[in-house]
Structure 1
Amino acid sequence: MASETSQPHVYDIDNPAVAQVFAEFSPFERVGLLGLRQLIFDVAARDADIGQIEETLKWGQPAYLPSKTKSGTTLRLGLPKTGGFAILVHCQTTVISDFRALFGDDFAYDGNRAVVFSKGDVVQTDKLVLLVSAALRYHLK
């Protein structure tokens, strides 16, 4: 008897403007950013304090915020000037500096605003869960 394997829930992009932005990314960028998007929704789904995530555009980038609970700061997904792709937070929060204190050289950073990924980087989702959770729970400190 074969056992069933559970597939992760895939979150549809309901906002046409957001879908259009994802469609315009190169295949490499799109795959990486969709993986980060999935992580954001997965973290939120496991934490009732975060609640439902609103997906919109801010500064032309896909942006994610707990809309009802107001528990966190916005996460954005975008392309840094240096190439690759990134997960970004508001630079006046301590999210990136706190994350850097935990994981230092395990990641590349753009100041206090982003964790940046280049071709060939392994996206360490087991560690990034902490960054996503910290951002989406930022105002619950």
Structure 2
Amino acid sequence: MPPKVEEAFELFSEEAQTLLLEMRQCIFDIATRHDLGPVSEELKWGQPSYSVKSGSPVRLDWSDRSPGQCQLLFHCQTRLVETFREIYSDCLNFEGNRAIVLKMDALPSHTVVTHCLELALTYKRVKHLPLLGV
């Protein structure tokens, strides 16, 4: 992990750090499983950001202003959050067209979150399909 990204994680609460490090590992696992190539890991807007050539970047965030939740942030001009809302509105919380909000006291299933991350990391391959091919 690049030092600046590691420093950003250290600013998260212990609970948020645990959850977001799991999300980070999930991103790397998806990239390997789907042969998406190397994962770029850097800071964007002070947040750990992950991207692959075939996808749209995913940023991870936590704020002490909302200590009970974390966010998975997506590029707001994609159809990602719109699609997630269409298929997972019964089990995910959203912020506008840019984020999935993970409430730490009521986390969604790992399968659902993994599917959303897969769609983000393969976005350029599926963006032309209705509901991103879901």
TM-score class, shorter: 0.7 to 0.9
Q: Give the one of 52, 71, 77 matched to 2:60.
A: 77
Deviation sequence 1:68-107 (CA, Å, 0-9, x none)? xx21110000126544111110011011111111111201
Partner of 2:121: 136
SS state of the match for residue 81, structure 2? helix
Residues 81-96 of structure 1 aligned to structure 2 (within 5 Å): 82-83=66-67, 84-96=69-81
Q: Give the one of 19, 23, 34 matched to 2:10.
A: 23
Partner of 1:64: 50
SS state of the match for residue 105, structure 1? coil
Partner of 1:35: 22
Q: CA RMSD in A?
A: 1.4
Q: Could you tell me which amino acid in structure 1 is paired with residue 85 of structure 2?
A: R
Shift of 1:136: 0.8
Deviation sequence 1:5-38 (CA, Å, 0-9, x none)? xxxxxxxx2x000011111111011111111111
Q: Establish whether residue 51 from structure 1 lines up as the match of residue 37 from structure 2.
A: yes
TM score, norm. by length of structure 1: 0.82
- In structure 1, what is the Cα distance between the partners aligned to 2:71 and 2:109? 13
Q: Gaps spanning 5+ residues in structure 2: where?
A: 127-134
Q: Establish whether residue 111 from structure 1 lines up as the match of residue 108 from structure 2.
A: no
Q: Could you tell me which amino acid in structure 1 is paired with residue 74 of structure 2?
A: V
Shift of 1:58: 0.4
Partner of 2:131: none
Percent of aligned pairs with the same amino acid: 35
TM score, norm. by length of structure 2: 0.86
- May I ask how many residue pairs the two structures share in their alignment? 124
- In structure 2, what is the Cα distance between the partners aligned to 1:124 and 1:36? 12
Partner of 2:109: 124
Shift of 1:114: 0.8
Matched-pair contact (CA < 8 Å) for 2:92–2:108 = no
Matched-pair contact (CA < 8 Å) for 2:91–2:108 = no
Q: Could you tell me which amino acid in structure 1 is paired with residue 115 of structure 2?
A: L
Q: Gaps spanning 5+ residues in structure 1: where?
A: 1-12
